[in-house]
């Protein structure tokens, strides 16, 4: 019997080094798409008179680009401030027959309903509708468009000069 | 005569004293370990995409995950990839079959080992494995793991119906 024992301890961890190791995990990507609205309007809209004998009104157009997504409804409206110089056309309390008028035409493939019958603009505090949107309305990715056509009677009582009124458009979606 | 006997016995006893009691012995053992390619990944349960303050700005979000990887020293490689299922419900964003301009896009970055996707990539298939990170031979994470981020961008198309949408992305990390 041997007095001294030889102990050889070999710890060998033989893992499968030659095989690919692979693990997986998941994440859920989530988002909420809500009603949204965007509008772009030109900085100025000139009203021009093509005649010289008071037989032709001042007319002009405002081209509006917009994007909208609704759940229930939406609209584009405007408010018009009073003309900046007295003695010319007026928004509020104009002489009968001198009212600023407008219609709106929604582009052929655009979403929304315009104002086809000319409406008078006789208040600086009223929100006048331009386009209305129903439930689940959605614009094209590139955006939609509408045109507001303005008509201002050419009253000889207007003093000569330059007049301007700031019109503020608002688009909303719910 | 008695004295002679004692002397002989003492001499005999000295002869039996074990010489080995003062010697040393050394033996060795061999510990062997085979370090193999390995990989692990930990992801958040959800990744929220949110639109910016500007109307119809893109939905964006990020998925930050941790990973550990070790690839073979010679000839090894590895990757983090993902597959993504279709969005649910319908009527909103789509992974497959939507307009190219509406494709979900991603890029990735890492503070650890691996090469990321610095250029935005379109995601337009539910069966493709999209690469997030790639590992070369002898790639090794830090002991506590490395951190990477996937940045997502989803165009905000007005055509999407309002509502909540989700898609499950399955990430896979592999090491060889």
A96 touches chain B (CB under 8 A): no
Evaluate whether A74 touches A113 at the Cβ level (below 8 Å): no
pLDDT for A50:
83
Q: For B86-129, write each residue's pLDDT tens digit.
A: 999 999 999 999 999 999 999 999 999 999 999 999 999 999 99
CB contact under 8 A, A33 and B92: yes
| A-B contacts (CB, under 8 Å) | 172
The alpha carbon of residue A159 is apart from the nearest alpha carbon of chain B, in Å, by 43
A4 touches chain B (CB under 8 A): yes
A29 touches chain B (CB under 8 A): yes
Closest listed residue to residue A163, CA positions, set A57, A91, A95, A97: A91
Q: CA-CA distance, A90 to A120, in Å (whole number)?
A: 12
pLDDT for B20:
52
The alpha carbon of residue A66 is apart from the nearest alpha carbon of chain B, in Å, by 10
pLDDT for B21:
60
- Residue in chain B closest to A40 (alpha carbons) equals B55
Per DSSP, the three-state class of A37 is strand
Residue B3 clears pLDDT 60, i.e. is over it: no
A73 touches chain B (CB under 8 A): no
Residue B65 clears pLDDT 80, i.e. is over it: yes
Q: How far is CA A16 from CA A39, A110, B95, in A?
A: 63, 63, 37
Please spell the DSSP secondary structure of A74-134, one letter per residue: EEEEEEEPPPSSTTS--SSSPPTT--EEEEEEE-TT--SB---S-EEE--SS--EEEEEE-
Q: For A124-139, write each residue's pLDDT tens digit.
A: 999 999 999 999 999 9
pLDDT for B10:
45
pLDDT category at B157 given cuts 50, 70, 90 is very high
Residue A3 clears pLDDT 50, i.e. is over it: no
Average pLDDT for B65-92: 97
Residue A14 clears pLDDT 60, i.e. is over it: no
pLDDT category at A18 given cuts 50, 70, 90 is low
Q: For A97-155, write each residue's pLDDT tens digit.
A: 999 999 999 999 999 999 999 999 999 999 999 999 999 999 999 999 999 999 999 99
pLDDT for A1:
42
Question: What domains lie within chain B, and their CATH numbers?
Answer: 38-175 (2.60.40)
pLDDT for A101:
98
Q: For B15-61, write each residue's pLDDT tens digit.
A: 445 555 678 889 899 999 999 999 999 999 999 999 999 999 999 99
């Amino acid at each position: 019997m041997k007095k001294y024992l030889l102990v050889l301890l070999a710890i060998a961890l033989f893992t499968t080094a030659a095989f690919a190791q692979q693990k997986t995990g998941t994440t859920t990507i989530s988002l909420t798409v809500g009603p949204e609205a965007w509008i772009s309007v030109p900085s100025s809209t000139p009203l021009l008179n093509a005649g010289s004998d008071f037989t032709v009104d001042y007319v002009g157009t405002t081209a509006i680009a917009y994007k909208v997504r609704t759940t229930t409804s939406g609209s584009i409206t405007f408010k018009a401030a009073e003309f900046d110089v007295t003695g010319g056309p007026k928004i509020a309390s104009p002489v009968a027959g001198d009212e600023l008028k407008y219609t709106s035409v929604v582009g052929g493939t655009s979403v929304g309903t315009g104002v086809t019958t000319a409406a008078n603009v006789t208040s600086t505090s009223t929100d006048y509708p331009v386009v209305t949107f129903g439930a689940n309305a959605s614009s094209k990715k590139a955006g939609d468009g509408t045109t507001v056509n303005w008509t201002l009677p050419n009253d000889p009582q207007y003093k000569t000069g330059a007049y301007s009124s700031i019109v503020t458009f608002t688009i909303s979606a719910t | 005569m008695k004295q002679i006997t004692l002397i002989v016995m003492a001499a005999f006893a000295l002869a039996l004293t074990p010489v080995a009691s003062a010697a040393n012995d050394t033996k060795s053992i061999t510990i062997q370990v085979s370090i193999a390619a390995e990989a692990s990944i930990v992801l958040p349960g959800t990744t929220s995409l949110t639109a910016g303050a500007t109307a119809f700005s893109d939905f964006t979000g990020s998925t930050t995950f941790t990973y550990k990887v070790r690839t073979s020293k010679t000839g090894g490689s590895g990757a983090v990839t993902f597959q993504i299922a279709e969005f649910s419900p319908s009527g909103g964003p789509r992974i497959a079959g939507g307009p190219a301009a509406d494709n979900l896009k991603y890029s990735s970055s890492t503070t650890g080992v691996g090469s990321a996707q610095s250029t935005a990539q379109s995601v337009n298939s539910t069966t493709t494995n999209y690469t997030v990170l790639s590992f070369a031979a002898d790639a090794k994470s830090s002991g506590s793991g490395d951190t990477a981020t996937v940045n997502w961008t989803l165009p905000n198309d007005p055509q999407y119906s309002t509502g909540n949408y989700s898609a499950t992305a399955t990430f896979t990390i592999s090491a060889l």
